[in-house]
Structures are given as C-alpha cells and as structure tokens.
Amino acid sequence: MGFQEVFDHQAFMRQQVIEALTCPVNRDMTRREHGCDDWALYRNPEWLVQHFARNGGAEAFAKHRAKYVREIPSPEYEI
C-alpha cells in the first residue's frame, strides 16, 4: 500500500479565519480603520477577515501551507 499527499483545505481555512479573528495586530488595525470598539468587531467579524486579507495576512498565512499537507494511505486497486 502506498501513500498520497492531500491538502487539508478545511483545516487550513479554519486556522486562517481563527488567526484573522484573534490576532491582536489585526484587531487593533481593524478597530482603527473603522473607528470602532471591540463590540463593533464582535457584531461585524467580516471586517476582521476582510482587513486580514486586504493587508497581507492571507498571503503571509499561505507560507504555512505545507503544514496542512497530510499523507494518507492510497486506495488499493486490483486489476
């Protein structure tokens, strides 16, 4: 039985969103951009994700892509 590499897209995206929502720098800069407080960020989490993506967070996060590649057993095929 061999192995194949697969990219865990769900885990990659989940972790990227968590980082966008919780990163203190992203939160601070988004608050400044919108002139708001934490309650406004709570009500508008899309602002955090949008700011993260527009300002290089997604590009920087992509450098960690290799961490989300997994080896799984290849299915065995009989001929």
The pLDDT value recorded for residue 17 is 96
pLDDT digits (tens, 9 = 90+) for 4-54: 899 999 999 999 999 999 999 999 999 999 999 999 999 999 999 999 999
End-to-end CA distance of the chain: 15
Residues 41/48, Cβ–Cβ less than 8 Å: yes
Query: What per-residue confidence (pLDDT) applies to 41?
Result: 97
Beta pairing partners, 6 = 70
- For residue 73, what pLDDT is reported? 87
Residue 55 is predicted with a pLDDT of: 96
The residue assigned the tokens 């966008």 is: 20
Q: What is the pTM of this model?
A: 0.78
